[in-house]
Chain A
Amino acid sequence: MSANSIESSSSNTEEQAWLTGLRNGKEEDLERIFHRFYRYLTVTAYKLIADEDKAQDLVQDLFFSLWTKRATLNVTGSLKAYLRKAIVNRCIDEIRRAKRRETTSDEQLPLRAASQNGADELLEVSDLQRQINLAVDQLPERCRAVFALSRFHDLSNKEIAAKLGISVKTVENQMTRALKFLRASLANHLPTWLLFVLFNQ
């Protein structure tokens, strides 16, 4: 169950009313849609590109084009699904642009602990989660994009390769790299006994 699903509570009829208003150039309805989905979309973008400012810019651009193209808008499924798809596509475009700018090919993954708690301190599952969150945050740009498309958007390696314009082999490599890093971030910073307990639940 994704944490994001909490925010998908706008009813379909409500969304349809907003969309109708939007098509008629009602700024209030643009605002309603914005208020409902802005955070969700920003977080969704951030998970893919790990740059808060850029994430917000992309979401802003999305809403701007939602407004300017309102006359020809074609939303078939839920509004949330539509917006999510739109922001993911914009992120992918951004990643592809960034890829062209990228000069260093294989960044070293920095290993850093969320907390330097000693083994004598009791660690809980939430600490483990925090450790993973931090590790995901630390994934380098391209590795993170590949990981996020797989993890949060259920894309296959083949689909990711097509979207990012890279080979399936590269996707597999980046994916493996991400998983190894996440696993290591846990293994390196938790007491072995706790690792054992947690991982064998």
Chain B
Amino acid sequence: MDQDFYISLIHQDLQGTLLEDGQRQLAQWRQADLGNPDLERQVRKSWELSQRYAPELAVDTAAAFNNLRTRVRAHEKAETATVRKLPAARSSRNSWLAVAASLLLLLAAGWFLYPSFQSAGPMASLETKIGDAPKEVVLADGTKVWLRENSRLEYPEQFAGKDRRVALSGEAFFDVAENPESPFRIALPAGAEVEVLGTSFLVRAQPDSLVAVNVSTGKVALNAGNKVLILPQGKAGSWDPATGQVAELNHQPNAGAWRNNTLFFDDQPLAEVARELESFFNVTLTFGSTQPLSCRFSGRFPAAKLPEILAAMQQTIGVTWIEADGEYQLDDGNCE
């Protein structure tokens, strides 16, 4: 047997796993050569010393934690974003109807195929760039349209034929003049179309996202491909151009808040309120360690400003906040 074999036996003995047979072999080996006990002692000494092996690493714990925190927060943000993409489940509420009595909200997305306007006579268009204030236009039939930033509306100077047809890319709020004889139709991306069956409505269409229609009063039909979704008031519908799927959602009362700067909350869970504030004010809201998530919040805020709303929260439900770089952390809250 060569030396390696006995070194392995010594190792097993050090580990306490050497069986009787091995012990015997090791004992015989010790006797076999005068140098062997020396070798064994040196191996044992190496083993003993290596226990205290302590690499000296330049570890910067604070910097390492900063990296971790960045990663954790990016992850949390991504998680929140994922959650936010899903349609928020909302209970049907009636009180908002009074606020938005004659409004239909329509959301649509993407570049789209304009339907033929040939018979409609001369066309006009209204366009807004990123950062523009909403622009308002009154169409030939008396329908009012508010166009949000980064949007484009095409409409005929005079409506001709049975239907009233316009086309939208971006986001707009429609208050449609009532005319049961002449349906109002909005051409949407990729051939989808919204047909207004009631009195007035609002439209929004952003590229690369869901087409969504948000109905306050009246009735809207979302015609997407071979699917038709009839949306009564208090409902919203969506259409995904990528998959062709249509889905019915609950109405989002603040979806058109950009038009009149009015935010409205009706006994909503704080997490939901926070999501709406985030998208409206383009800020980040987080919840601190005390997690005031059991709170609910109500209020109507014309000319809404975030500090006002936060102050109202503090007064009514005891929520406090700290702000840094557009990031607000909410804490406390006197809620059961």
**Chain A residues within CB distance 8 Å of chain B:** 2-3, 21, 24-28, 30-31, 34-35, 38-39, 42-43, 46-47, 52, 55-56, 59-60, 63-64, 67-68, 128-129, 132-133, 136-137, 147, 150-152, 154, 156-157, 172-173, 175-176, 179-180, 182-183, 186-187, 195, 198-200
Q: Mark contacts of B276-291 with chain A using CB atoms, 8 A cut-off: 1 yes-contact digit, 0 otherwise.
A: 0000000000000101
Looking at chain A's contact residues, is the secondary structure mostly helix, strand, loop, or mixed? helix
Determine whether B72 belongs to the interface, using a CB cutoff of 8 Å to chain A: yes
Q: Which residues of B contact A157 (CB under 8 A)?
A: 12, 15, 17
Tell me which of B10, B12, B42, B72 contacts A186 (CB under 8 A): B42
Q: How far is the CA of A9 from the CA of B47 in the complex (A)?
A: 27
Q: How far is the CA of A180 from the CA of B132 in the complex (A)?
A: 77
Q: How far is the CA of A69 from the CA of B239 in the complex (A)?
A: 34
Q: Which residues of B contact A183 (CB under 8 A)?
A: 39, 42-43, 45-46
Determine whether B326 belongs to the interface, using a CB cutoff of 8 Å to chain A: no
Q: How far is the CA of A64 from the CA of B75 in the complex (A)?
A: 10
Size of the B side of the interface (Cβ < 8 Å), in residues, is 37
Q: How far is the CA of A152 from the CA of B53 in the complex (A)?
A: 9
Q: Which residues of A contact B71 (CB under 8 A)?
A: 60, 64
Please name the residue on chain A nearest to B42 by beta carbon.
A183
Known: A136-B50, A180-B4. A46 touches B55 (CB 8 A): yes
Q: Which chain B residues in 40-85 approach chain A with CB under 8 Å?
A: 41-43, 45-47, 49-55, 57-59, 61, 64-65, 67-69, 71-72, 75
**Chain B residues within CB distance 8 Å of chain A:** 4, 7-8, 10-12, 15, 17, 38-39, 41-43, 45-47, 49-55, 57-59, 61, 64-65, 67-69, 71-72, 75, 289, 291
Known: A39-B59, A150-B11. A3 touches B52 (CB 8 A): yes
B266 to A: closest C-beta gap in Å:
28
B273 to A: closest C-beta gap in Å:
19
Q: Are the CB atoms of B65 and A35 closer together than 8 Å?
A: yes
Known: A156-B15, A173-B4. A34 touches B61 (CB 8 A): yes
Q: Which residues of B contact A180 (CB under 8 A)?
A: 4, 7, 43
Q: Which residues of B contact A39 (CB under 8 A)?
A: 57, 59, 61
Q: Are the CB atoms of A47 and B289 closer together than 8 Å?
A: no
Q: Which residues of A contact B11 (CB under 8 A)?
A: 150, 172, 175-176, 179
What are the 6 tightest A-B residue pairs by CB atom distance, in nearest-first order? Answer: A182-B46, A132-B49, A176-B4, A176-B7, A172-B8, A38-B61
Q: How far is the CA of A14 from the CA of B39 in the complex (A)?
A: 48
A132 to B: closest C-beta gap in Å:
4
Q: How far is the CA of A42 from the CA of B61 in the complex (A)?
A: 10
Please name the residue on chain B nearest to A128 by beta carbon.
B49
Q: How far is the CA of A64 from the CA of B67 in the complex (A)?
A: 10
Q: Are the CB atoms of B72 and A30 closer together than 8 Å?
A: yes
Q: Are the CB atoms of A3 and B54 closer together than 8 Å?
A: yes
Q: How far is the CA of A35 from the CA of B47 in the complex (A)?
A: 31
Q: Which residues of B contact A128 (CB under 8 A)?
A: 49
Q: How far is the CA of A125 from the CA of B230 in the complex (A)?
A: 87
B210 to A: closest C-beta gap in Å:
28
Q: Which residues of A contact B12 (CB under 8 A)?
A: 157
A-B contacts, 20 of them at CB < 8 A, read A24-B289, A25-B289, A34-B64, A43-B55, A43-B59, A60-B64, A64-B68, A64-B75, A129-B49, A133-B53, A136-B53, A147-B50, A151-B47, A151-B50, A154-B15, A173-B4, A176-B7, A176-B8, A179-B11, A199-B45
Please name the residue on chain B nearest to A52 by beta carbon.
B57
A99 to B: closest C-beta gap in Å:
21
Please name the residue on chain B nearest to A200 by beta carbon.
B41
Q: Are the CB atoms of B51 and A151 closer together than 8 Å?
A: yes
Q: Are the CB atoms of B43 and A68 closer together than 8 Å?
A: no
A158 to B: closest C-beta gap in Å:
8
Q: Which residues of B contact A56 (CB under 8 A)?
A: 59, 64
Please name the residue on chain A nearest to B44 by beta carbon.
A199
Q: How far is the CA of A47 from the CA of B55 in the complex (A)?
A: 7
Q: Are the CB atoms of B72 and A179 closer together than 8 Å?
A: no
Q: How far is the CA of A64 from the CA of B256 in the complex (A)?
A: 39
A111 to B: closest C-beta gap in Å:
14
